[in-house]
Structure formats: structure tokens, C-alpha cells
Amino acid sequence: MAFDDFKIRLDNLQKKLSTYDLDAIIITNLVNVAYISGFKGTAGKALITKQEAFLITDFRYTQQAKFQAPYFTVIQYEKKVEDTLNAVISKVKADKVGFEQDTITYEQYDQYLSALSDAHLIPTKGLIASLRQQKQADEVEKIRKAASIADEAFSSILKQIQPGISEKSIAFALEYEMRHRGATSVSFDIIVAAGEHAALPHARPSDTALAVGDLVALDFGCVYEGYCSDMTRTIGIGHLTVEKQKIYHTVLKAQHAALQSIKAKIAAKEVDGVAREIITQAGYGEYFGHGLGHGVGLQVHEAPRMSPISEDVLSEGMVVTVEPGIYVPTVGGVRIEDLVYITKGGIENFTKSPKDLIIL
């Protein structure tokens, strides 16, 4: 990523300070620190004012920070980071200082309250998350690549899936195939759920062996150059009952309709409602208990959210999942998930794996 991209992000955040009536903001979430500065160390806090930007870290990361965050003044703290923060806040004469309320604990807040004697601490929520929703071109390309790696891994492991293989074996194979293709890690713990386990939306892979008649849900993704992908496909083993086939095709119909409805300026809950209505009309409304999707970027779950209670509005530049599901106890479950980029004219679907029912 070009350093100029970080300058744009910093400028956008500094402009928002006035909107929030803040003189400065302390950024403690390391993902947000990396997003706004470029610094990828595991210890550091950023202090942003309307005109200046400071990155406070320890001896281990000082040189790294100077290289990765050229638009920030790097300061090395010796004993307590809070004391250094207080000294900088005093120097720049910041009175109203925001902090990320969803990142720090009450104990940390109490420490800041005691140490930052020259500032009035003001809680903020979602300030940087709102900036992260609109992806820059370089971010989009990395997410697209991460999605492509996941697609290739899925295609590769299909020939390994057969009755008798365990959920864990499939999960291990997926991770290997993604790393083999350039992923640095998985973007979350891989889900492989067969039979009745597929009725658990976040089931963990076990030693359970796949059996004829099972629905098998595979939810996985990878990280490529810091950016995540996320996809789900559900397949059948041997043959499926009429009910299981109906569940699959209902989810597929709901997902297709939701994808068709996505456009800039539409309410996220409206898109969720499109899929939810189809599933409800088919008699499975009570078995679709999670939101339709979420944003993806530096983290696999970030803003916006698509759910019945979401207040988010979709806009050009967002990358979101679309993942309706039906989970029926003792029967099994189906989830189909694509990763899409919202464009001026609609969407670009990053997930290319087929969605017609695959029975192995």
C-alpha cells in the first residue's frame, strides 16, 4: 500500500474530530492503529489531533514505527504509556480527548482518568470503524485475492471429501490449501459441520465422520497481506432427503434475492428482510436466527452489519458477506455465503465457487 493512502486516512480522521467536537483522540485498538498509521507492531497507541499525529510505543518497535508510519511523530515511552500520553496532551493543549470506549476495559479507563490530568476524556464509538467501511482500491484488491485463494482451496478439497472422512481432516486440508496458495493465516477458526452438527451455525470441527445423507457446511476464509475473506458452501454426501434438498434450495433462493437487492444507499436491514421473508414463507423463519451479513476487511467481522435491527446504510466501497442460513435441529443446516463489493452500479461478487447443490 502506498504511504499516500495512509495520509488520506489520517486527513479523513482529523476532519472528523471537529464533527465529534474533539481536540484529539487516543486510538488503542491495534487494528485501528494499523489502519490509520500503517504501524503493525503489537504494542502502540496513537494520539491524533486536528493538526498532528503521534505514535507512542516502546523500545522494541521504535524503528519499525518510524518506517511504517511516516506521517506520525514516533515517541518511545519508558515506564508508563499513560504518563507519556499525558505529556503529549499537555504539550498540544488538547482539552476534549476522545477514547475508544469499545476497546479499553474499565480498569484501563480508570488508569487514563488518573494519569491524563490535563484532559477531559470523552467516549467515542465507531469513529474509525465508520472510516474503515469504505475500502480503498488497494484494500479491495487484497480482499479479492483472499477470496480467490479460498475459492481455489474449496475446489481443491472437494475431491478429498467422502464418507468416513472426519470434519477435522477437512478443516486441516482447507487451511493447508489456503496457506499453500499464499495466505498468511486463516481469518477465523474454520467451521466444518456434518449431519446434525450442521444445525449449529458456529460448530467446531470434530472427529465426527461424514456419512451418507449428511449435509456438510464449510465456512472458512483466509488472510492475504492483512485482509480477510469469508465464504460458506454446503454440500451433500451420497444422497439427500427431500426436506434437506428443500432447505438447500430455499437458502439459495434467499441468497440470490438478497444479492440482487444490494445497492448503494439501501438500508442494511432491508436487504436482510429480502432473504428473511423468503425463508419465512418457506416455513423456516424460526431457523434463521442470525443476521444476513457483515463487513469484511482488516477483520473478518466489522461494520456494517446486515440484520433486522441494523441501522446501517450500505454504500459504494463497502465489502460485505451475504450468508442466509437455515438450521433445523436433528436434521442439519445449510448456509451459503458470498463476499461482495458494493459498486456504483451494484455489486462485484468476489466468491466464484458454484452454488448449485453439490452431492459427492
Determine the residue type at 251.
V
Residue 336: phi and psi, rounded to 5, are -125, 125
CATH 3.40.350.10 spans which residues of the chain? 3-131
- The whole-number pLDDT of residue 345 equals 87
- The whole-number pLDDT of residue 119 equals 87
Give the CATH H-level superfamily of domain 3-131. Answer: Creatinase/prolidase N-terminal domain (3.40.350.10)
Per-residue pLDDT averaged across 90-106, rounded?
A: 91
* Poorest-pLDDT segment among 4-8, 133-137, 235-239: 4-8
DSSP string across 283-346: T-GGG--S-SEEE-SSSSSEEEEESTT---B--TT-EEEE--EEEETTTEEEE-BEEEEE-SSS
Beta-bridge partner residues of 294: 305
List the grid coordinates of 129.
470503524
CA distance 33 to 47: 10
- The whole-number pLDDT of residue 210 equals 96
List the grid coordinates of 40.
503493525
Q: What is the rounded average pLDDT for all residues in the chain?
A: 94
Angle at 275 between CA 269 and CA 281, to 5 degrees: 120
CB of 351 within 8 A of CB of 335? no
CA distance 322 to 342: 12
CATH 3.90.230.10 spans which residues of the chain? 137-349
Q: pLDDT band at residue 174, thresholds of 50, 70 and 90?
A: very high
CB of 14 within 8 A of CB of 131? no
What is the 8-class DSSP label of residue 228? E
Q: pLDDT band at residue 1, thresholds of 50, 70 and 90?
A: low
CB of 46 within 8 A of CB of 72? yes
What does the pLDDT look like over 186-227, one tens digit per residue? 999 999 999 999 999 989 999 999 999 999 999 999 999 999
Fold of 137-349: Creatine Amidinohydrolase (3.90.230)
pLDDT over threshold 60, residue 106: yes
Q: Is pTM beyond 0.85 here?
A: yes
Q: pLDDT band at residue 172, thresholds of 50, 70 and 90?
A: very high
Angle at 99 between CA 66 and CA 269, to 5 degrees: 110
